[in-house]
Chains A and B, each alone.
Chain A
């Protein structure tokens, strides 16, 4: 074999602390190395041309590039090799940037380590085999998980492009958090007026199948051919018959059930339709509070329902859908603000969350759009908004900024003035984060035109004054004083956290998530809606706190990625798959049990059981090869021999 070695300077990224010329000089003495050089930017066009030229000139049949992480440029250089007429798998990469130059300053030690890493790559490359990718068919259907505004956007874009879409929504209606909002910033246009028609489109689109009140139970398969198990939760109402007339809701005697759509401030019923524009507009029974389901008597709804839709016998149901791509758009949940004991910890009825206040402002909310405080129904005159409750607060484990609270608080201050002209809003803030288009102008308007009092400082405590109001004690750091406000109502801008059970869903989808449960994008800048799992895309706040415009943009972006994926005739499978040496296999079946993808099946070979790998299903994780007691199942491109050769290369002394 004739191997060429290219040591990249990466500008000064590597050259700054690694003597690349010296590394290439050392590499010339490695076995089968026919050519070695250093290069300014191996990934640049002249850099790649240099590699192609060297392949021709020195008749190379394998290439090692020592540069950055393979995550960054492995695909780039494999393409380079292909252009030069070599098999793309006759390539190895040594990561001397992230693993060497960026982490150490000792030039001599770095140079030695870089040389060692190159030696490992050369030793592995000597044992590489040319691999050829197989092609397979795509199932051109897409699963969208979550029916909030991001999921709706992704689903509609895909459906309009002619793809079949399956949408799964956990709640009994789609619309997500946006459906709960009264108005939206910075235009103060009605939330349900702009979202409602899109929700209706989801229901009416011939290409979209909607499963509300359902959750993803399990996902198997791989890009182009996922198989998804969807759990349709028992709702105790036959939705085919239910007309959404709402008579059952009116008559239901169980009035202690939490009204989750109204953020628990409105009256609840055990049987409920979330709101007038709900899609689907169907009743659902909360089994925990239903008198019939808990105590066996009542059944009022059953008697009253004009279409006989009530079905107390209904059970959870599992359905399987086959899709080719998945868009996760599961959104966010609010931080549990009751840990803030100094703000009452949930004990004071007039200390509410911003989403609850949104319901109080909304015409479809429990007060019909008249702002009445929960304790005594009085119209509040002094409303205090406290920012960063569960954001930018290390002491409660939420150091990140939730991003959009500054903006919705400005909106709520404006709406408060609109609803109650003789009211004053006080906003305790730390910094105003308003970087979007027309955003800063909007917060200025809240102050200048609507007279919102902005006070720079946190609030230390909220306590009742004994006369039915609250005292809010905070600081005005610009004055350098303590300040107090007598408040009729306190609204907490509660921070964003990842949706409940996000990590569990991430594990089902085999995508990564960060320490707060937000899903990880493929690259923070260049792959904002991809994940590291092929065929799984992200949209909206499940990836991190996002406002409506950003969620919609990411929904469309995810859709365009799906459409791009499905525009290919066939997909190429990664040939780095497991492979069974049939002579060595004893048919013990351990690999069949351990494979997380179901990619290994047992076959009969002349009367003997043997393992066989389904190449298009295998993801190349390597669990089977470490399980096999015989060493009979080997991962192509990462065989035991190759890995041992690498170990030998660094353990020479």
Chain B
């Protein structure tokens, strides 16, 4: 699946056609007259956002606490959006995600595709003139979305889950097992099938997992996270 991502041109100019190159985004509805956000998770009408009642203060505080970032530092210059290599696939550009956080629009943010399509490349963090770790904020939003049951891009989540399960059992990623698990969860049998013949002779795709020494220690990290974290 990464192969497909890499095929997307480095500096895209078309906003919507390219988005279809992303496997995760393929399931999304692509409406040319995209109405971006502002209290409109469904439907095509721009609703009025009630700024007195709608901001979710506890959500805002939790995101700030977990990310360690001060959201009010953002002055909406748009450099994160300008530098983001995945904006072409986003339903809400990252600068507007930050704005929605400033106004506490929890539902709109958590039900967006953008937070799942973020590749954590940290271009936004690097370019932010106010030194906000935007990528970290996006990461925290993914956790929040899981907790609150807002996962818009199920396949991305499935991939993360399969990846982590694989690390948990083997202490590192077992590529073949990861693919099988991902296909089992998503039913996307033909995903990246054509890569197999290329990777096999290079020894990049083993049939048996290579466990690391001390994988039980890795497993304990997961256990501890489940007990104390989340």
Contacts and interface: CB of A to CB of B under 8 A. Distances in A.
Interface of A: 342, 388, 392-396, 430, 456-461, 471, 473-477, 480-484
B156 interface: no
A395 B129 contact: yes
Interface residues of B, number: 26
18 contacts: A342-B127, A388-B77, A393-B129, A394-B130, A395-B129, A396-B129, A430-B75, A430-B76, A458-B127, A460-B79, A461-B82, A471-B11, A473-B11, A475-B79, A477-B93, A480-B92, A481-B81, A482-B88
Interface string B66-93: 0000000001111111111001100011
Nearest to A455: B78
Contacts of A476: 78
Contacts of A481: 15, 81, 87, 93
B129 A394 contact: yes
B82 A473 contact: yes
B211 interface: no
A586 to B, nearest CB: 58
B123 interface: yes
Interface in B158-209: none
Nearest to A429: B77
Contacts of B83: 342, 460-461, 473
Contacts of B127: 342, 458, 460
A14 B135 CA distance: 46
Contacts of A430: 75-77
A469 to B, nearest CB: 14
B78 A457 contact: yes
A396 B87 CA distance: 25
A181 B175 CA distance: 63
Interface of B: 11, 13, 15, 36, 75-84, 87-88, 92-93, 95-96, 123, 127-131
Contacts of B81: 457, 475, 477, 480-482
B223 to A, nearest CB: 39
A458 B88 CA distance: 17
Given A460-B123, A461-B83, A475 B130 contact: no
Given A457-B78, A475-B79, A475-B95, A395 B131 contact: yes
A457 B129 contact: no
B36 to A, nearest CB: 5
A332 to B, nearest CB: 21
Given A430-B77, A481-B15, A484-B11, A458 B129 contact: yes
A471 B9 CA distance: 15
Nearest to A396: B129
Contacts of B123: 460
A459 B82 contact: yes
A458 B82 contact: yes
B82 A460 contact: yes
A396 B36 CA distance: 32
Nearest to B15: A481
A484 B130 contact: no
A396 B129 CA distance: 8
A460 B95 CA distance: 13
B131 A475 contact: no
A16 to B, nearest CB: 27
Given A474-B82, A475-B82, A482-B87, A394 B77 contact: no
A392 B15 contact: no
Contacts of A473: 11, 82-83
Contacts of B79: 457-460, 475
Contacts of B88: 482
Contacts of B128: 395
Contacts of A456: 78
B87 to A, nearest CB: 5
Nearest to A430: B77
B38 to A, nearest CB: 11
Contact of B130 (A395, A461, A477): A395
A461 B80 CA distance: 11
Given A475-B93, A484-B13, A394 B131 contact: yes
A458 B36 CA distance: 20
A458 B11 contact: no
A171 B75 CA distance: 39
Contacts of B82: 457-461, 473-475, 482-483
Leading 8 A-B pairs by shortest Cβ distance:
A475-B78, A457-B78, A460-B83, A460-B82, A475-B82, A477-B78, A458-B79, A475-B81
Contacts of A395: 128-131
B78 A458 contact: yes
A474 B13 CA distance: 12
Nearest to A457: B78
